[in-house]
Structure 1
Amino acid sequence: MRLPSLGLVLTGLVGILVQTNLVASQACGTQNNGALCPGQGHCCSQFGYCGTTEDFCLTSKRCQSQCINDGPPPPPAGPPAPNIDKASLFRPPAGTFANKDLVGYFSNWAQYRGLDPSTPACEANNSFLPEHMNPHLYTHLVYAFVFMANNNSIIPHEANDIDMSLRFNAWVKDINPNCKTSFAVGGWSMNDGPSRYTGGIDYSTFFSEMVATQAGRATFIDSCIQWARDLNFDGIDIASDWEYVGDPDRGGRPQDTVNFTKLVQEMRAKVEAEAAATGKPRLLITVASPADPGKFALIEGQAVSNYIDWYNLMTYDFYGNWSPTMENQAPIADTIQEGWSFTSAIDLYLDAGIPPNKINVGLPLYGRVWTMDDPECNTPGCTGTAGVAGRCTAEKGYLSYFEIKEIRDALAAQNLEDTAVHFVPQNGYYMVFDNQWVGFDDDLSFQSKVNIINQRGLRGGMLWAVDLDTPDAHLTRNLLSYYRSCNANGGWPAASAGTEVELRCPQDSDYPNETQSRKCNNDLTWGDIDNSNCNRIRPQSLLAEGCVEDE
């Protein structure tokens, strides 16, 4: 028997190696129009190349085709968690949340700050992850947003939403077990038609189609409950920025009004049944709801309130650079248009019969920006066009509070803050810099709004969004200093520590049109009532003094 020559053997081995390398380097899968790998035992990896090892062939490694099924892959991971000194996290004084909630929304796209080449001024350390939140500052935190597929099931919006949600809840429960968490379904982008934020998919009619049938509602509710339990949430924020129920311009139809009430009614029944069956606490149900009177008319406000725990009332974006008139985007009281303000929106809900303890009212951590038409006309009511984008938020005409504060601090360093920054009572703040005009909230406007929350006996406040504050949560911490309050007492509304409250004198007093006052002390106890203006002693004593002088 004649043995093959060494040269032939080597040639054969080289041929096999060359063929293997050619196969291994071949593109496949979605990266090559769905192409399969040639040859037996070769698999297409998640990166679109053929190979034979576990990284190419296991489904748990996200193999695309010709795979070995060893189970599903883990959810995509979020960015590495930052190293946070838990012991150094600020804790509000005792009693801060004795009378009020503070709900904070976390936006899941804040994780990408500093990664976009189009925003070179934004650095990687400007990214905001779950571990950057200080859960001591809130009673409730909401993860925003997840989407709903056309089969009425909850799906991630960002690819890593599952991992980020688990991290979100693990962090919150570790730092502040008393802080409850929810996930929010929807968001403005979901109902805004196909865009880069939706992967080109038009979700705008999905909500309306879901609520239209009992089967659709049931699927959605079951999916919400499963998502909450699987990822350790305490609640569900539904119709969160559906924006808006029944709005024909955003995929809605007239039947949405009644169908939405059915949705929350059926959801309440199911979460109660699920809690009874499992022994777990009932999941919270909340609704992010409109402040626009026309949009509010599209929901059955009082009926819905019977089935939910509270409304998160979106009292912001009354004004913005979609209109030429420059105005604070969340004015305290009505300015240009009647009914468009923080106070009017609250009264709209109360007048509709919604209990005050079912309203958490919105407090924005951002401002709206205009480029002034005339720099000499730089007060509210003047005109402009869409202003600059923030160095990190990168949306034209929009600045986060941390971006506003950076500009404000720079002005202060030049001794320009006093002439550039203005507070208008019953309205809010505005700041002029270069040819830009921004309306926003800060300490005094938040103090005014907390006073209104107290006076109306509301459940509390809601922040959009926690990632828009400074890294040390400067404005949120200042807000909480106004949260410490005395309880409502004998007709006196809850009041922030250190503030004085005035009420009309009793109707049976000598001067019912005068006012009496009472101070909420810093130790959260009420002081004595000063009702000296209500009786006849004051004018009689003045008259007596006058008589003495005449003598």
Structure 2
Amino acid sequence: MLSIGGDTGSPVLPSMMSCQDNRAAFIKSTINVSRNYGFDGLDLDWEFPIKSEDMLNLALLLKEWRLAINIESLASSKPALILSAAVYFSPNLLLSGITYPTEALSNYLDFLSPMCYNYQGSWDTSATGAPALLYDKSSNISTSYGISAWKQNGVPSTKLVMGIPLYGNTWELKDPNDHGIGAPAVGVGPGSHGEMSYDDIVTFNSENNASVVYNNETVSTYSYSGTNWIGYDDTNSISAKIKYAKAQGLGGYFFWALGSDSNWTLSRTASMAWDHDES
């Protein structure tokens, strides 16, 4: 799959989608590149549409893209290219109050990939948080809420591919003796701008003799050592999330990103959980 986009706040995608001629040129170019380099399909990663007009244009793009893919497939006698999109964890963008065109996404995409992470991070250093928790009784910012909302908005379970992070977010605790989820914090912790790959987290935990806690209520993991606090997913939370995804009948899961794993530990855990025959 060739993924296009990913640039947070970039004006390129909104500008392209707002004009029919630009959309047509973009669609033609993506199909040509995909065929020339032997890709199986195309993925759009727009982070994120912020206006109602953006959502309307996204629906137009997907409709025109799918039509062009089908026409090209008939003309070339090749299987139609797969078309997918990475999307916000929920169909409702909570800060802007706008909603994805779920009918268009469901009709024209082979699957969509909610990015179920970054719920908490360096933008709020007042308290620790579980950055990719499955459940949250106190808010709608959770993976279970997002997946349920996509389904309630008409997207079939089999078209949903749940995102899981292979990195964590870090905080500096105000008091090393107060170290639960939601504990007071005074800034970001170790890592680059408050982020650490899972591989680095494993190393940090080992070198600093960190305490590791799995929180069953939220389905998330955190570790702490002194004033350093890290929220992330480990084998326990990954296994529980995969079990949830299977119970929900989802089409699959994806990691961001494989290079951040530690000796394929979480990748193998997820694969074994997904393939496990519970009968």
- Deviation, structure 1 residue 389: 4.5
Match of 2:37 among 231, 235, 240: 231
Distance across 1 between alignment mates of 2:186 and 2:82? 41
Decide whether the 8 Å contact of 1:316 with 1:364 is kept in 2.
Answer: yes
Q: What residue is the counterpart of 2:86 in the other structure?
A: 288
- More deviation in 380-389 or 429-438? 380-389
Q: What residue is the counterpart of 2:269 in the other structure?
A: 478
Q: What residue is the counterpart of 1:365 in the other structure?
A: 166
Q: Which runs of 5+ in 1 are unaligned?
A: 1-181, 193-203, 248-252, 486-496, 498-519, 521-525, 527-551
Runs of 4+, deviation exceeding 3 Å: none
- Deviation, structure 1 residue 227: 1.8
- Deviation, structure 1 residue 339: 1.1
Match of 2:255 among 463, 485, 489: 463
Decide whether the 8 Å contact of 1:291 with 1:345 is kept in 2.
Answer: yes
Decide whether the 8 Å contact of 2:165 with 2:257 is kept in 1.
Answer: yes
Match of 2:206 among 402, 405, 409: 409
Q: What residue is the counterpart of 2:136 in the other structure?
A: 334
Q: What residue is the counterpart of 2:74 in the other structure?
A: 276
The CA deviation string for residues 313-352 of structure 1, in whole angstroms up to 9 with x for no partner, is 100001112112211100110154x211111111010111
- Deviation, structure 1 residue 280: 2.0
Secondary structure of residue in 2 paired with 1:306 = helix
Q: Which runs of 5+ in 2 are unaligned?
A: none
- Deviation, structure 1 residue 423: 0.4
The CA deviation string for residues 25-65 of structure 1, in whole angstroms up to 9 with x for no partner, is xxxxxxxxxxxxxxxxxxxxxxxxxxxxxxxxxxxxxxxxx
Q: Does 1:191 find its partner at 2:11?
A: no
Amino acid at match of 1:410: E
Root-mean-square deviation over aligned CA pairs = 1.6
Q: Does 1:216 find its partner at 2:17?
A: no
- Deviation, structure 1 residue 362: 0.7
Distance across 1 between alignment mates of 2:17 and 2:222? 41
Distance across 2 between alignment mates of 1:480 and 1:373? 38
Amino acid at match of 1:451: K
Secondary structure of residue in 2 paired with 1:421 = strand
Distance across 2 between alignment mates of 1:348 and 1:276? 35
Q: How does 1:12-31 map to 2 (within 5 A)?
A: none
Secondary structure of residue in 2 paired with 1:191 = coil
Q: What residue is the counterpart of 1:509 in the other structure?
A: none
Decide whether the 8 Å contact of 1:422 with 1:429 is kept in 2.
Answer: yes
- Deviation, structure 1 residue 433: 1.8
Q: Does 1:354 find its partner at 2:158?
A: no
Q: What residue is the counterpart of 1:147 in the other structure?
A: none
Q: Of the two, which has the highest radius of gyration?
A: 1
Distance across 2 between alignment mates of 1:278 and 1:426? 52
Amino acid at match of 1:183: L
- Deviation, structure 1 residue 448: 1.1
The CA deviation string for residues 340-389 of structure 1, in whole angstroms up to 9 with x for no partner, is 11111110101111100100001110000001122121110112244245
Decide whether the 8 Å contact of 1:350 with 1:356 is kept in 2.
Answer: yes
What is the count of residue pairs matched by the alignment? 274
Match of 1:448 among 224, 240, 245: 240
Decide whether the 8 Å contact of 1:210 with 1:216 is kept in 2.
Answer: yes
The CA deviation string for residues 140-199 of structure 1, in whole angstroms up to 9 with x for no partner, is xxxxxxxxxxxxxxxxxxxxxxxxxxxxxxxxxxxxxxxxxx121111xx233xxxxxxx
Distance across 2 between alignment mates of 1:426 and 1:352? 26
Higher strand share: 2
Secondary structure of residue in 2 paired with 1:447 = helix
Distance across 2 between alignment mates of 1:373 and 1:388? 11
Which has the higher relative contact order, 1 or 2, with Cα contacts under 8 A spaced 6 or more apart? 2
- Deviation, structure 1 residue 429: 0.4
- Deviation, structure 1 residue 254: 2.7
- Deviation, structure 1 residue 259: 1.2
Decide whether the 8 Å contact of 1:286 with 1:308 is kept in 2.
Answer: yes
Q: What residue is the counterpart of 1:207 in the other structure?
A: 13
Amino acid at match of 1:224: T
Match of 1:426 among 192, 217, 224: 217
Distance across 2 between alignment mates of 1:318 and 1:335? 14
* TM-score (ref. length: structure 1): 0.48
Amino acid at match of 1:398: E
* TM-score (ref. length: structure 2): 0.93
Q: Does 1:265 find its partner at 2:63?
A: yes
Secondary structure of residue in 2 paired with 1:274 = helix
Percent identical among aligned pairs is: 28
Distance across 2 between alignment mates of 1:237 and 1:257? 17
Q: Does 1:314 find its partner at 2:133?
A: no
Decide whether the 8 Å contact of 2:164 with 2:256 is kept in 1.
Answer: yes
- Deviation, structure 1 residue 303: 2.5
- Deviation, structure 1 residue 211: 1.1
Distance across 2 between alignment mates of 1:217 and 1:385? 46
Distance across 1 between alignment mates of 2:54 and 2:158? 26
Amino acid at match of 1:479: A
Secondary structure of residue in 1 paired with 2:171 = strand
Decide whether the 8 Å contact of 1:371 with 1:437 is kept in 2.
Answer: yes
Secondary structure of residue in 1 paired with 2:253 = strand
- Deviation, structure 1 residue 407: 1.6
Distance across 1 between alignment mates of 2:159 and 2:4? 20
Distance across 2 between alignment mates of 1:226 and 1:289? 24
Decide whether the 8 Å contact of 1:367 with 1:438 is kept in 2.
Answer: yes
The CA deviation string for residues 191-229 of structure 1, in whole angstroms up to 9 with x for no partner, is 33xxxxxxxxxxx22211211121111011111112212
